[in-house]
């Protein structure tokens, strides 16, 4: 029986990644809630006949919930609720199965590499899991890829080569289909273990999985696409869940030139997206970026393209000058605090060069006004302190 098991897992050889890409709501409305899914992803690299490396991970939708520690050969539970409602016992059994699998898989692949005409270096990917559609219909999948291309899948209790994967995939499937026990184990994991685990983990992780976090949005100018042209960039970040609608608009019209990037993960489990628009410089005025997201309760975010207005330059200057002043005042304050006569100091630390810049510039004058206001406040504050 023990001898059978490694053979059994040879069966899982070369199952490819699924191409399911959960996300991207249609451009006209927010996507209906995605069907919840659980998947295991395996990536195995084979550099030569003696070097191989395998990574395993578990995902609920787009959120990684499990890792595989290949040194300790244990499951890493990445969330407090990653065990779902499975007992310690059942998790231990699953871990033992995975240990066997991750141990045997590379060896079996190496052993059969020449028979299957795998050419070094190569990469095998497996995506294995289940999703529950609305109405509780269960869909299971096991896909394998070779060198990043669909290779085979497990359907209706047998291994099928992917269209276009050629005779190599046919060969592998033919061999795999001889192992009835492997097929039975795979079938059980897919149709029983996976949906039970998914149902339990969805309940346990409900508050995190279903949390609503509002996006922040801002616009900026990207690298110029050419003479007289502007690249407008609308950034939207920090939102959860993933489905989101973002468009450049002129009034109420969607701008057909809007280009949507990929939705990228932030480190805190929220998402980031940028949508760009290449326009001639004259066209930019009056454009806005509009964001719809489930967390916003129908109150879309609208950011108008301002270009660089006088106002934004002014704010920039104020911020910079304020920071500079704080640093200077802080250092002069330190100097003065060792000096008893606080009031007689005439602030030599304030740079006079700043005042020699073009004084006709209104923004500059405002910055100066800001500077002297801050100076005054700090002096008053210091005076009060010394009275205490």
Ligand X SMILES: *[C@@H]1O[C@H](CO)[C@@H](O)[C@H](O)[C@H]1NC(C)=O
Nearer to ligand X, 209 or 279 (CB): 209
**Torsions phi, psi for 234 (to 5 deg):** -105, 120
Q: Does 93 bind ligand X (CB under 6 A)?
A: no
Nearest to ligand X of 60, 247 (CB atom): 60
Size of the site for ligand X (CB under 6 A): 10
Axis crossing angle, helix 310-337 with helix 362-387, rounded to the nearest 10: 30
Instruction: Determine the interface stretch with ligand X among 43-51, 66-74, 230-238, 306-314 (rule: CB under 6 A).
Output: 43-51
Per-residue tokens: 298: 């129908």
CB of 50 to ligand X, least distance (A): 5
Query: What is the closest distance, in whole angstroms, from the C-beta atom of residue 85 to ligand X in the complex?
Result: 4
Task: Decide: is 92 part of the binding site for ligand X (CB under 6 A).
Answer: no
Among 19, 50, 309, 338, binds ligand X (CB under 6 A): 50
Nearest CB to ligand X, comparing residues 200 and 269? 200
- Which residue has 């005779």 as its token pair? 167
Give the one residue of 51, 218, 373, 381 binding ligand X; rule: CB under 6 A: 51
Q: Identify the residue among 4, 32, 47, 319 touching ligand X (CB under 6 A).
A: 47
> Does 302 engage in binding with ligand X (CB under 6 A)?
no
Q: Rounded to the nearest whole angstrom, what is the least distance from the CB of residue 38 to ligand X in the complex? A: 12
Q: For ligand X, which stretch binds (CB under 6 A), given 27-35, 44-52, 150-158, 223-231?
A: 44-52
61-90: contacts with ligand X (CB under 6 A) = 85-86
Taking residues 172 to 211 in sequence order and writing x for each that binds ligand X by CB under 6 A, - otherwise, the string is ------------------------x--xx--x--------
Report the interface residues with ligand X, using CB under 6 A: 47-48, 50-51, 85-86, 196, 199-200, 203
């Amino acid at each position: 029986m023990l001898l059978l098991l490694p053979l059994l897992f040879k069966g899982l050889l070369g199952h490819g990644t699924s191409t399911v890409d959960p996300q991207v709501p249609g451009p006209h409305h927010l996507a209906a809630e995605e069907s919840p899914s659980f998947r295991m992803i395996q990536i195995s690299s084979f550099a030569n006949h003696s070097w191989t490396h395998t990574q395993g991970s578990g995902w609920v939708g787009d959120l990684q919930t499990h890792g595989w520690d290949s040194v300790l050969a244990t499951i890493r539970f990445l969330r407090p609720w990653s065990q779902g409602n499975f007992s310690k016992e059942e998790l231990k059994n699953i871990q033992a199965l995975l240990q066997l699998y991750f141990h045997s898989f590379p060896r079996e692949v190496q052993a059969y590499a020449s028979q299957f005409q795998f050419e070094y270096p190569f990469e095998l990917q497996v995506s294995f899991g289940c999703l529950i559609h609305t109405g509780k219909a269960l869909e299971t999948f096991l896909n394998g890829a070779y060198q990043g291309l669909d290779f085979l899948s497990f359907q209706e209790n047998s291994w099928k080569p992917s269209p276009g994967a050629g005779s190599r995939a046919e060969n592998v499937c033919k061999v795999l289909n001889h192992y009835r026990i492997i097929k039975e184990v795979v079938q059980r994991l897919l149709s029983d273990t996976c949906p039970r685990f998914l149902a339990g983990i969805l309940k346990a992780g409900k508050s995190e999985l279903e949390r609503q976090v509002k996006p922040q949005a801002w616009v900026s100018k990207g690298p110029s696409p050419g003479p007289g042209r502007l690249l407008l960039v609308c950034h939207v970040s920090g939102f959860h869940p993933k489905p989101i609608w973002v468009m450049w608009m002129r009034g109420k019209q969607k701008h057909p030139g809007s280009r949507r990037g990929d939705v990228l993960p932030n480190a805190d489990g929220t998402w980031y997206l940028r949508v760009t628009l290449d326009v001639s410089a004259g066209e930019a005025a009056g454009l806005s970026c509009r964001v719809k997201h489930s967390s916003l309760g129908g109150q879309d975010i609208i950011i108008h393209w301002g270009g660089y207005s006088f106002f934004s330059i002014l704010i920039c200057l104020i911020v910079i000058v304020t920071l500079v002043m704080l640093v200077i005042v802080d250092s002069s304050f330190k100097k003065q605090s060792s000096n008893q006569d606080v009031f007689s100091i005439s602030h030599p630390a304030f740079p006079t060069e700043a005042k020699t810049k073009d004084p006709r510039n209104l923004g500059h004058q405002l910055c100066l006004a800001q500077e002297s206001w801050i100076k005054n406040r700090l002096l008053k504050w210091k005076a009060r302190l010394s009275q205490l």
